[in-house]
Structure 1
């Protein structure tokens, strides 16, 4: 199973989701069955490390994002991944517009897929530190639900 998390620039929300979910997958001993990656719909930050506030908030909870680098989503990702999860509706619309008719990937909002009351992971980029903590709270909860769902499918 290959899972891709997608946000706008791939420096805040989607690398957080990648790092948290990768940690959850390893803790469950499923790293050989579930592959995790992230990307952004925009190209502004390609090759850059996650936002320093993102990395700091993640590190405070025991997640290492240091080895991650932003990349832009590619149409070929529709063939490479089984499940593509957007952080918000805007990114979901962008992905739907790029989606080829032959795509085999399941495409959805991350939080909706995981049964969260909130449908979108808010972008913390222009806010304060509490926004990064809120993103982590949402992603930790949704990641646990996603892992339980995927485990049942394996």
Structure 2
């Protein structure tokens, strides 16, 4: 899961997908992590509003810490799912030519359309809730892809 600072959308996506995979009995089938393309929040926990929103839905992301996308991520993961088109562009530029990783838009790869997950950072609790709902729906579709081994 990839966003800009790795403190809002991508840690939420990591936490939600982990929970849904576990509930489906598929946690051993997929390794989930999150990163940001920027480095301004490296080492920090998720935004307190993201933590509160996730907690409201039974997902604990408080233990996660922001890290920046590395070249090794393109070899360590089969699929890098980006929160929005800007992040997708940045990640694709960084992808080594030798990497076989798919770098895709999160909602599009989940079959929910070529839409962005809006960055809630400068918004309100409502914006975090909207992002959460989009991510939750995408995670449900990703679980099905994992179940059917379609990646």
Cα deviation, 1:105-132, whole Å, max 9, x if unaligned, reads 1110000011214511000000111000
1, 24, 30: which one aligns with 2:20: 24
TM-score for the superposition, normalised by structure 2: 0.96
Runs of 4+ in 1 over 6 A off after TM superposition: none
Q: What's the C-alpha RMSD, in Å, of the aligned pairs?
A: 1.0
Q: Is 1:87 matched up with 2:83?
A: yes
Deviations 1:64-114, CA, capped at 9 Å, x for gaps: 001100000001110000110000010111011111110011110000011
Asked if residue 60 in structure 1 is aligned to residue 37 in structure 2, the reply is: no
Give yes or no for the alignment of 1:46 onto 2:42: yes
Aligned to 2:65: 69
The CA distance in 1 between the partners of 2:149 and 2:138, in whole Å, is 17
Instruction: Please list every run of 5 or more consecutive structure 2 residues that lacks an aligned counterpart in the other structure.
Output: none
1:122 equivalent in structure 2:
118
- The offset of 1:20, in angstroms, is 0.2
2:116 aligned with 1:109: no
Cα distance in 2 between the residues matched to 1:49 and 1:23: 19
Q: In 1, distance between residues paired with 2:8 and 2:143?
A: 21
Give the strand-richer structure, 1 or 2. Answer: 1
Q: Secondary structure at the match of 2:28?
A: coil
TM-score normalised by length of structure 1: 0.95
